[in-house]
Amino acid sequence: MQKTLEGNPISEGFLSHGPAAPGKAIIDRDHAAVWWLTLDEIRDADWLKLASLLIEEERARSERFHFDRDRLVYIAAHAMCRGLLSYCLGAAVQSWRFTVEYHGKPELVSPPNMPRLRVNISHTRGLAAVALTVEHDIGVDVEWLQRDADTDGLAARMFAETERQRVAAANGSEKLDIFLKFWTLKEAYVKAIGKGLSQPLDAFAFDPEALEIAFRDAHADDPANWHFERYRPGPDYLMALAVRHPDKQRLAVDTRPAPLSYLLGLADG
């Protein structure tokens, strides 16, 4: 199943039945959960509550950002990440621990008696997103529609030929839109495989309508194992999700705005 969700979030899905009871996971290898949070929704008084969901190490890191906007989006992303894990797994919000892999990808240390949880975070100006599944590689990317980006130059330097041509042929606001459709899909993929930007972005190309990937080296990876989705979390944002799954027909993805009241409730204990 491949799906493009550019409008409103779906109202049904496995996340719509409320959070997991303690120890009763509502997510397994055939589910992926995605939340996004726009910073505009968060009132001044709520920031302390969200920050209280972080562990000490994360709070210390948040204090090191020079700009408020970077600090706040970091707090929102990591509070939401902890919240999504607790919502789906029914464990305490501060119990989650992470290690960092070779290319900088944080991986969850799955607690005993829990499946291998996989999570990925993305943030951009004013918006954070988190994606969670079990076992499979997962990556998410959000981007703000930055009006002054050098789309032709970046596409010429970094994209595959078919993608470059699509960007070059587009006019007006469509140029930025198609550029960021490619960019978010490509980032979601390189984040899912954990290589980040150490993976050359011209080694694979997307069909942004069919949501299919093709690899320059046919032995590099198997397109049949990848599921992609695209979203528009707000008028100024694009988001993409990449999940590796051996049987995509079985994969159920639930993507929606994070329930802020649930996150704030976690802070109230």
**Cβ closest to ligand COA, residue 13 vs residue 195:** 195
Shortest Å, Cβ 195 to ligand COA = 6
- Select from 123, 166, 175, 181 the one that contacts ligand COA (CB under 6 A): 123
* Contact (Cβ atoms closer than 8 angstroms) between residue 243 and residue 253: yes
3-state DSSP call for residue 106? strand
CB of 106 closer than 8 Å to CB of 117: no
In whole angstroms, how close is the CB of 59 to ligand COA at the nearest point? Answer: 13
Asked if 120 touches ligand COA (CB under 6 A), the answer is: yes
Q: Which of 18, 23, 104, 200 binds ligand COA (CB under 6 A)?
A: 104
Restricting to residues 70-99, name those near ligand COA by CB under 6 A: 74, 77
On whether the CB atoms of residues 14 and 31 are closer than 8 A, the answer is yes
- Residue 105 binds to ligand COA (criterion: CB under 6 A): yes
Binding window for ligand COA (CB under 6 A); candidates: 20-28, 184-192, 204-212, 251-259: 184-192
Q: Which of 86, 122, 151, 255 binds ligand COA (CB under 6 A)?
A: 122
Nearer to ligand COA, 25 or 193 (CB): 193
- The residue among 104, 158, 141 whose CA lies nearest residue 243 is 141
- A 10 A CB-CB count for 82 gives 24
- Residue window 193-232: x/- pattern of binding to ligand COA, with contact defined by CB under 6 A: -x-xxx----------------------------------
Give 248's DSSP letter: G
For residue 89, what are the CA distances in angstroms to 65, 259, 262? 30, 16, 14
Residue 230: name the closest of 204, 246, 249, 211 by CA: 211
Q: Are 255 and 10 in contact (CB under 8 A)?
A: yes
Return d(Cα 55, Cα 170) in angstroms, integer.
Answer: 45
Q: How many residues bind ligand COA (CB under 6 A)?
A: 18
**C-alpha R_g of the chain:** 18
Q: Which stretch binds ligand COA (CB under 6 A): 39-47, 115-123, 228-236, 247-255?
A: 115-123
**Which residues are near ligand COA by CB under 6 A?**
74, 77, 103-106, 120-123, 141, 187, 190-191, 194, 196-198
